[in-house]
Amino acid sequence: MVAFNPTAGSVTVRLADAPLRMPRYSAIWVATALLFAVSPLLASGSVSGSALLSTLPFAAILAIAAIGQTLVVQQRGFDVSVGGMITLTTIIVTRFSNGNESRLWGALGLVVLSCVASGLVSGMAITWLGVTPLVATLGVNALLTGVVLQITNGASTSSAPRGLADFAIAKVWGIPSTVIVAAVAVVAVAVVVRTTVIGRRFVFAGASPAAARAAGIRVERVELSTYVLASLAYGGAGILVAGFLRTPGIGAGNDYLLPTIAAVVLGGTSLAGGMGSVVATAVGALFLTQLGAVVLGMGAAPAVQLVIQGSIIALGMAVRNMPWRRMRPLLPSRAPHFGGSDDPSSAEDATSTVPLVATGRIDTRTTPRWGRGESR
């Protein structure tokens, strides 16, 4: 029997009543491999060398932006200021430098300050004022859009410096530079989250804020820092967008909101907070980009991509809000544990490990998730 865990993104295979659990977040790897396998059958030439070199930069930029969204989702939030921050970044890079190499570093510094300010506004609205993440980031996105319109007067004709444009389209040993930047960013974040005490406390704060506070973790500070880091990730993606497009319009970031959320959902990060994987999210970004290329190669309208992305997000939200606890009596006695928004088991487990997580002596990646019928 094969069972898929939609909350954790893992697959359980039972052979002769002996459970064999496949690696966490393995589903997106399998799905991506299958997609690339069937792509030539659906759209001829969709996996050729030239096609991949054209697709990978877009997947890399999406992966960088999705890093920020992953961190936010791990803290039980959604950040809809993605598009506004990416657009503002492209405008700052192009308008401030105006194609002048000597002004590029000043433009990048201004981007960093803008990202930090945006993240602080979102984070303070959520942690200090108690505004829900969706509403807070929606307001910040509107603010960012207003700043873009104020700077550009509704039109943008400035170009990025040639050095940035050359870097964005350059290749190192045949690999696009954007892919290398994305890989470094993903690995760095994954290492910090999975192997450091700070990363374990970050995961713990998202999984069970109440238990984390009881352990002495400043949850509000973690959440505030998360939105700042997420905004910096969007800014990094925006810099590459500015270089890649050379002369971006005032809507350059509008197409990144749904894909970043869809990539997080496909990667298996829990929408209830806590466990997640930026590596799996990056693979999800690759999946979405390749799927979009295949859809367009089949002659379908671009709107089909939006339908697919929206369906993925809707499915993820449905899984999160499914009343698994009430459905459990209807399932076989040895059915796998799926969790869910109304299932307190994760919070109970987190509470029992408060002292160990707080001191960094326990690895949240290997902490057992006890379910019904299992002994401690």
- Does the global pTM surpass 0.75? yes
pLDDT given at position 325: 64
Quick: pLDDT tens for 65-111: 999 999 999 999 999 999 999 999 999 999 888 878 888 999 999 99
Quick: pLDDT tens for 289-310: 988 888 888 777 777 777 877 7
Report whether pLDDT(112) > 80: yes
Report whether pLDDT(147) > 90: yes
- Taken in order 273, 276, 280, 285, the sign of the CA dihedral is positive
Contact 298, 115 (CB under 8 A): no
**Average pLDDT of every residue of the chain:** 81
Q: What is the mean pLDDT of residues 186-193?
A: 96
- Helix (H) or strand (E) run with residue 4 in it: strand 2-5
pLDDT given at position 52: 85
pLDDT given at position 324: 56
What percent of the chain clears pLDDT 70, i.e. is strictly above it?
77
Using CA atoms, how far apart are residues 60 and 69, in angstroms rounded to an integer?
A: 14
pLDDT given at position 373: 37
Domains of the chain, residue spans: 45-322+339-358
Q: What is the dihedral of CA 122, 125, 128, 132, to 10 degrees?
A: -100
- Give the pLDDT band of residue 242 (cuts 50, 70, 90): very high
Query: Greater confidence, 221 or 27?
Result: 221
- Give the pLDDT band of residue 51 (cuts 50, 70, 90): confident
CATH 1.10.3470 fits 45-322+339-358, yes or no: yes
Q: What is the mean pLDDT of residues 165-171?
A: 90
Quick: pLDDT tens for 332-354: 655 444 444 444 444 444 444 44
b/e string for 16-54 if b means 16 or more Cβ within 10 A?
Answer: eeeeeebebbbbbbeebeebbeebeeebeebbeeebeee
pLDDT given at position 327: 65
